Amino acid sequence: MKKILVSLLLGSLFFRPVSASCHEETSSSPSLDVEISALYPNPQSGESEWIELQNSGHELIDLSLYTLEDETAKPWTLSGTLEETVTLTGFPFQLNNGNDTVTLKTLDGTVVDSFTYSSSTKGEILTKTIQLSEESEAAAPVAVAETKTPLATPSLYPIFSEALPNPEGSDSTEEWIELYNPYGETLNLEGLYLDDSDGGSSTFALSGNLAAESYLLIYVEESKITLNNDSDHVRLVGVSGEILWDIPYEGSKEAWSFALFEGFYDWTEEPTPGEENILLLAEDEEENTESTFEDGDLSDEVEISEVFPNPEGPDTEEEWIELTNGGSEAVNLGNWTIDDGDGGSDPYIFPDDTVIDPGETLIIYRTESEIALNNSNETVILSDFTGEEMDEVTYESSEEDQSYAKIQVEEVESLQASASGLGNTVFSLWQWVSPSPGAHNPVWKQIKGDVLEWDGALLTLFDGVGTWTFKTAAGSTDALLYKAGNTLLVRAEDRDGAYEVRFSELVESVTTEAAKANGFPWSWFLSGLLVLGYASYEIYKKRKQASQHALIIN
């Protein structure tokens, strides 16, 4: 009987009736017949992550009615139609190699399907299967691994011929790498990957064939391999990650290519993409090796004041980093750099005409710096032209459409002290706040006091001398926190003459004070016992002395 029930259950899950008009019409409303059928979260070198959707119904599904998201909770609206299965790539989030959930929802937030996995291995496809629970004997979908069979590294492969890391035009479109087949036979490129230095760009998978004694020209727009202008590597990598050849270079010159010439490599001012290399050197080597930018000024007054890593729209355009000159003199940032740490983007080098005046802020957008800020576990470093680190900011996670800003906090003892400005302590901290690019970051006040009243919108505190009134967030549900008699630590921002609460913390609750007031007075009780004991002892001594005196007289 048990086997029959299980068979019926599995049959109901997998059997789909055949329809003569299958997928002829597109549903105008979301269907529950779409599911996440497979994931590829941990691809091999040169491959991309993907998510596979499957249509288990009989109508063509309009994917624009759905969104996909992982645990970063940043929905991605789909497009196109789904007839049977579709493989999705290029989504704005990155699948974790372990412990992640991908969720499919309708536009109104209704969950249609989800796919949870706890780990993955490079090259494995995670698919859903049906397993029986030992406790309930019920069928439930779980993620299982299907290992891809890797290709073998070819025995013959092309050689490095030429590269242009510093073109006269845009580096993001005009850079290229050239390979050459020196053999008398066609080479199969499957299983080979192009790469730069460790921690640099992602590897690029080669494909197809390369004819005998011919060139293969690969532009950066196709490979996404961004070559550094100062120093870098060009490498050919096999299936198992083995380095087949590694060509290093340094000191590139604008519009010069690094090329192979009869057993040696050198720079030439006449690049020959797709053709035989030409060795042509300038007469004045020293003139051509001068730095692109001149060194600026040395200063310890310039600091990172705000970063915006997770905008509401595309991260590729709206991210930015803000610097502030807190000194009294202008600073030329020529050859200073901004970097996002090891394994991140290439450092951004400031041109020598980048001057930041006293008290001024400077915004560096991603479109200019090409620094891609992570939404989590990121470090931003500012260094002067000598390479000395001048400032560093680190955050573990970001909040969408919020910037991470350095806030000055003025700690005040009372309303009168705040008005005089004397004796107030000022310190700084980093907080997620509404972005303020190009404007000075807000200054908060920190006050400790007892709650007198909270009406759901306005909070009144007594600091021991005077009262403060603050605006609280609309629809705040902090009734217990703002209970009359509680002692709070509040940080607030002055917005157009009115203080708005940005942070509040309970220092002591009214219940604690009440317990102190209504509790049993043990100290008085013990003191009374001591006094009573001492008095009893004195009375006892006097009676004993009087008794002894009477005996002597008698």
Question: In this structure, are strands 176-180 and 215-219 parallel, antiparallel, or unpaired?
Answer: antiparallel
* 3-state SS assignment for residue 544: helix
Give domain 2-147's CATH architecture.
Sandwich (2.60)
Residue 211 has a pLDDT of 93
For 334, half-sphere exposure in the C-beta direction (CA atoms, 13 angstrom radius) is: 11
Residue 541 has a pLDDT of 67
**Cα 448–396–343 angle (5° rounding)?**
150
What whole-number distance in Å separates Cα of residue 179 and Cα of residue 216? 5
Residue 432 has a pLDDT of 92
What whole-number distance in Å separates Cα of residue 86 and Cα of residue 80? 10
- Structure-token pair, residue 474: 């609309």
What whole-number distance in Å separates Cα of residue 464 and Cα of residue 348? 52
The residue ranges of the chain whose pLDDT is under 70 are: 1-27, 45-46, 73, 129-151, 281-292, 315, 414-424, 511-535, 537-538, 540-554
For 408-512, CATH gives: 2.40.50.140
Statement: 302-401 belongs to CATH 2.60.40.1260: yes
Query: Residue 293 in contact with residue 392, Cβ under 8 Å?
Result: no
**Over the Cα atoms of the chain, what is R_g?**
36
- Please write down the HEC assignment for all residues of 194-210: EECCCCCCCCEECCCEE
pTM beyond 0.75, yes or no:
no
* CA nearest to 467, candidates 422, 416, 527, 521: 416
**Cα 221–226–231 angle (5° rounding)?**
150
Q: Which residues contact 251 (CB under 8 A, 6 or more apart)?
A: 230, 231, 267, 289
Q: Which residues contact 382 (CB under 8 A, 6 or more apart)?
A: 302, 303, 304, 323, 336, 337, 338, 389, 390, 391, 392
What whole-number distance in Å separates Cα of residue 337 and Cα of residue 369? 10
What whole-number distance in Å separates Cα of residue 447 and Cα of residue 514? 23
Residue 521 has a pLDDT of 54
Query: Residue 70 in contact with residue 101, Cβ under 8 Å?
Result: yes
Residue 255 has a pLDDT of 92
The amino acid at 102:
V
Q: In what order do the strands lie in the sheet with 139-147?
A: 85-88, 50-55, 34-40, 124-132, 139-147
Query: Residue 482 in contact with residue 454, Cβ under 8 Å?
Result: yes
Query: Residue 315 in contact with residue 355, Cβ under 8 Å?
Result: no
Residue 474 has a pLDDT of 79
What whole-number distance in Å separates Cα of residue 493 and Cα of residue 536? 64
* CA nearest to 499, candidates 434, 421, 425, 415: 415
Tell me, what DSSP letter sits at residue 353? T
Q: In what order do the strands lie in the sheet with 389-397?
A: 348-349, 337-339, 376-383, 389-397
Give domain 159-288's CATH architecture.
Sandwich (2.60)
Query: Residue 106 in contact with residue 112, Cβ under 8 Å?
Result: yes
Long-range contacts formed by 71-80: CB under 8 A, 24+ apart: 71/96, 71/100, 71/101, 72/375, 74/400, 75/105, 77/107
* CA nearest to 222, candidates 197, 201, 199, 247: 201
Query: Residue 342 in contact with residue 199, Cβ under 8 Å?
Result: yes
Kindly list the distances between the CA atom of residue 32 and the CA atoms of 104, 117, 130, 153, 216, in Å, as whole numbers in the listed order: 10, 22, 19, 44, 47
What whole-number distance in Å separates Cα of residue 554 and Cα of residue 139? 107
Residue 279 has a pLDDT of 80
Query: Residue 411 in contact with residue 446, Cβ under 8 Å?
Result: yes
What whole-number distance in Å separates Cα of residue 191 and Cα of residue 206? 7
Tell me, what DSSP letter sits at residue 63? G
* CA nearest to 402, candidates 449, 437, 426, 444: 437
* CA nearest to 245, candidates 119, 158, 115: 158
Query: Residue 74 in contact with residue 92, Cβ under 8 Å?
Result: yes
Q: Do 302-401 and 2-147 fall under one CATH topology?
A: yes
Query: Residue 261 in contact with residue 279, Cβ under 8 Å?
Result: yes
User: Domain-by-domain residue ranges, the chain?
Assistant: 2-147, 159-288, 302-401, 408-512, 520-554
pLDDT digits (tens, 9 = 90+) for 96-136: 877 788 999 998 889 999 998 887 777 788 887 644 445 44
Question: Is 82 buried (19+), middle (13-18) or exposed (0-12) by CB count in 10 A?
Answer: buried
**Cα 81–85–88 angle (5° rounding)?**
75
What whole-number distance in Å separates Cα of residue 230 and Cα of residue 293? 12
